[in-house]
Structure 1
Amino acid sequence: MPGETSTIRVEPLDATFGAVVTGLRLADLRAGEWEQVHAAWLTHALLIFPGQHLAREEQIAFARRFGALEFDIAPISNVKPDGTLRVEDNSDDVVKILKGNMGWHADSTYMPLQAKGAVFSAEVVPTVGGHTGWADMRAAYDALDAATRARVDGLSAYHSLHYSQGRLGFNPKDKGSEYSGYGFHDGPVPLRPLVKVHPETGRKALLIGRHAHAIPGMEPAESERFLDELVDFACQSPRIYHHDWRVGDTVIWDNRCLLHRATPWDMGQARVMWHSRIAGDPVTEAACAA
């Protein structure tokens, strides 16, 4: 009806991407509001919704508006099921994953289907640190010099959680691990182009990050150095934003054109976030034939 969505405000961040959206309740989106949210997501790639305080089933329902889910909801947390805090050492496999996630990455590039996006919400936040950062790989691709852009357009890389965790010395224990093993699959290691064309906007973006390695045709050391240099270049201002979480915040990001990472915090303090992952389209997010 006329005026249905007039209270929605979309305020762009001071970066090449991202916006803060207010004036709506994600748990009660009307059709016109959803259309505005979806359009803003394709434009800005990251949307921040302060003070939503979504129940878990509400978060799942919101995520499902964007497509089928890779998984409904899971905690990203240093709090054990019994309420105690995990020990910050090299013995806890969940902590190893939390620390690994402090490197820039895109979700599920190490799986047969790269994720389309993710919804993330804050239940408990530490007093200092524990931010989430995102980096705009569309703007990064656009900022490359002509020679590098021509080079990356013809390259691919393998993606592996075994590689990225192993590079840090963080692979899980062979037996008795508390980590579910998600991503530590025994199937083929996906091969993906270094440049991804967004299936809905047509924009090109770098597809790099900590899981990428072993560019075919390059020596391992050369490949590692080149990929590290790309990440260092790409993840710089004004192409980055780090969110200082408040309890009740909800965000959604487009995993097809952004990298993200957590930042360190004192793990003597609890941090409880809830993650819903939107599955990739098999037509556009499948790995290449290796």
Structure 2
Amino acid sequence: MSFKVEKVPSTRTIVGTRAHWDELTQSLYYNDVEGTIFRYDYKENKVYSATVDGEKVVGFIIPVANATKTSAKDEYALGLGRRVGIVHWDGVSNRALLGPIAFEVEGDKQNNRFNAAKACPLGRFYGGTMRSEKCGDIFQVAAGSLYKYIKGDGVYELTDGVFVSNGLAWDETTNKMYYIDTGKFDVKEYDWDRKTGDISNERVVIDFSDNGKNAGFLPDGLTIDTEGNLYITNFGGSNVVKVEPKTGKILMEIPIPAKQVSSITFGGPNLDILYVTTASSGDSDNELAGYLFKITGLGTKGFPGVRVRV
């Protein structure tokens, strides 16, 4: 197999992350944790960016399924501290407007924030928190939790004791959910109840630690192909690995010309392009760090991002 890794014309980020491919707009959405949201237009091969007034940290961006005040393609759910806010953006302007707050968590943990989120195949919100970087080493205290949110019903805690809530993926064929708490250095699998959205029967798919300690890189982003294989980004590891979840075997390693590899998703009109975000933080001397990359020639396809119902 001959794959190709290429830099996409994009803006350099401090911590680029949360890649989401949207079929409706044929665009890739992602964000810089340092307060900027991005839209990569596939047809134009161009990236647009915007900031949200008053918001200096953005945990994630997910297009919204249920339109209210504007057309569906203009509403996005953003992680804003411990809140999930609805933002209005035309995908071109350099400013996005904050609308209503959909919900908030952890009123008793003022130093926590949302770090990552996705919609499951049915559009339910799943997202997790972490202790803010301003409090020191984020791997010292497991103060976060993973939540699900069901529109019209409420927020439910799925698991606690989370260091840094990160990658999520679902396999609808097997009804499994995959999840990364970066501070535990592994990828976990759960039985996923389609009807309720609950998870159970935790199992470690692959452990990247060195006898339970940091091996020098951190599992971060996660996606899945149509054959059920997982693709995991290694922050600090300069690569993406393809893993067969039943055995935990690494099937492929894809080198990325940036050290801090963050989020990942399949996209493009045929869903056969693997998009990868990176961070310049901790890799600033590398002129390629912090940009968006695409991987072609993998001979496999993935799934489009699911719009969230909030």
TM-score (normalizing by structure 1)? 0.28
Between Structure 1 and Structure 2, which shows a larger proportion of strand residues?
A: 2
Higher RCO structure (Cα 8 Å, ≥6 apart): 1
Larger Rg: 1
Say which structure is richer in helix. Answer: 1
